[in-house]
Amino acid sequence: QVQLQESGPGLVKPSETLSLTCAVSGYSISSGYYWGWIRQPPGKGLEWIGRIYHSGSTYYNPSLKSRVTISVDTSKKQFSLNLRSVTAADTAVYFCARERESAYALWGQGILVTVSS
Amino acid sequence: QSALTQPASESGSPGQPITISCTGTSSDVGGYNYVSWYQQHPGKAPKLMIYDVSNRPSGVSNRFSGSKSGNTASLTISGLQAEDEADYYCSSYTSSNTVVFGGGTKLTVL
């Protein structure tokens, strides 16, 4: 059974970098699929952040592109999100998910990250 | 990229059908058959209900169906049930090789 699990700090200070990791179990990242990050501010809708292929190819939301880096470590069976220079507007539940043809059938449970001093 | 346009809310009585629309542009919804629909209950991760415009993943009720005409995609739920009350989001592949979501529709079962 394939499972995804997000981990990282639940509180980040303004102007710092938000760093999250998604651990993949039950499937080898290097076998295929895109692996993505999606976020949801409290009480609001879903926002696509970006995706990475096992080869390392990345695609980002243009509105976040200047601050986002997604990376993959196939040996550790995980992929990561770094979001720089965060503000309160980056407070959200962050989900990692597995993508096939732009559809996300498999999601992590999500992790709430609050940006506050 | 601009979010796809969905009605903020819809409602219907048990047993009735309901359709939720999702409007984009020729650079996303209208240009590709990569429209998906998600159901999200409070505090839960989204669940994929429809992919590639009209395909249902294994385990999703056949009461859920999807379609597309031009730049507008639609999710139809036939025979509303209480457990269908949730938020619904559409998404689409875009010409920039990215994904864009709709703003979401809160479905209320009366």
What is the C-alpha separation between B19 and B47, in angstroms, rounded? 18
What is the C-alpha separation between A30 and A75, in angstroms, rounded? 9
For tokens 């346009």, the residue is: B5
What is the C-alpha separation between A30 and A77, in angstroms, rounded? 9
Q: How far is B103 from chain A (nearest CA, A)?
A: 5
Band of pLDDT at residue A2, cut at 50, 70 and 90: very high
Residue B99: list chain A partners with CB under 8 A.
36, 48, 51, 99, 102
**Does the pLDDT of residue A3 top 90, yes or no?**
yes
What is the reported pLDDT for B1?
78
Q: How far is A40 from chain B (nearest CA, A)?
A: 10
At A39, which helix (H) or strand (E)?
Answer: strand A34-40
Band of pLDDT at residue A80, cut at 50, 70 and 90: very high
Per-residue pLDDT of chain B (110 residues; tens, 9 = 90+): 799 999 999 999 999 999 999 999 999 999 999 999 999 999 999 999 999 999 999 999 999 999 999 999 999 999 999 999 999 999 999 999 999 999 999 999 99
DSSP state, B56? P
What is the reported pLDDT for A110?
98
User: Measuring CA to CA, which residue among B56, B16, B14, B15 is closest to residue B39?
Assistant: B56
Scanning A42-81 for CB atoms below 8 A from B yields 45-48, 50-51, 59-63
Give the residue from chain B lying closest to A111, CA to CA.
Answer: B45
Band of pLDDT at residue A55, cut at 50, 70 and 90: confident
Q: What angle do CA B45, B50, B51 make, to 5 degrees?
A: 100
pLDDT digit string (tens) for B11-27?
Answer: 999 999 999 999 999 99
CB-based contact A117:A91 (threshold 8 Å): no
At A112, which helix (H) or strand (E)?
Answer: strand A111-115
What is the C-alpha separation between B100 and B56, in angstroms, rounded? 20
Give the residue from chain B lying closest to A50, CA to CA.
Answer: B98
User: Measuring CA to CA, which residue among B45, B89, B20, B96 is closest to residue A97?
Assistant: B45
CA distances from A53 to A8, A17, B17 (A): 22, 23, 39
What is the reported pLDDT for A114?
98
What is the reported pLDDT for B13?
96
**Does the pLDDT of residue A22 top 90, yes or no?**
yes
- State the average pLDDT over residues A81-109: 97
CB-based contact A114:A12 (threshold 8 Å): yes
Q: What angle do CA A61, A16, B104 make, to 5 degrees?
A: 35
